[in-house]
Amino acid sequence: MRAPARRSSSHSLVLEAFRRSPGALWIERYRSLSPAAYRWMQTRAAKGLRFGVAARVENSRGQVLLVRLNRDSAWTRKWITPGGGAEPGETPREAILREIREETGVRVTNLRLWKVYHETLETEGDGGLSWDFLQFTAIWAGGRPHTRVPKEVTEARWFSRLPEDMEFREDWLGPPRTRFRPRRTGTSPP
How far apart (Å, rounded) are the C-alpha atoms in residues 154 and 147? Answer: 6
Asked if 14 contacts 49 with a C-beta cutoff of 8 angstroms, the reply is no
> What does the pLDDT read at residue 177?
56
How far apart (Å, rounded) are the C-alpha atoms in residues 25 and 18? Answer: 8
Instruction: Classify domain 24-172 by CATH number.
Output: 3.90.79.10
Banded pLDDT at 142 (limits 50, 70, 90): very high
- Mean predicted confidence (pLDDT) in 52-74: 88
- Mean predicted confidence (pLDDT) in 97-103: 95
- Mean predicted confidence (pLDDT) in 143-150: 85
Nearest to 84 by CA among 65, 103, 105, 71: 103
Strand partners, 129: 121
Percentage with pLDDT > 90 across the chain: 47
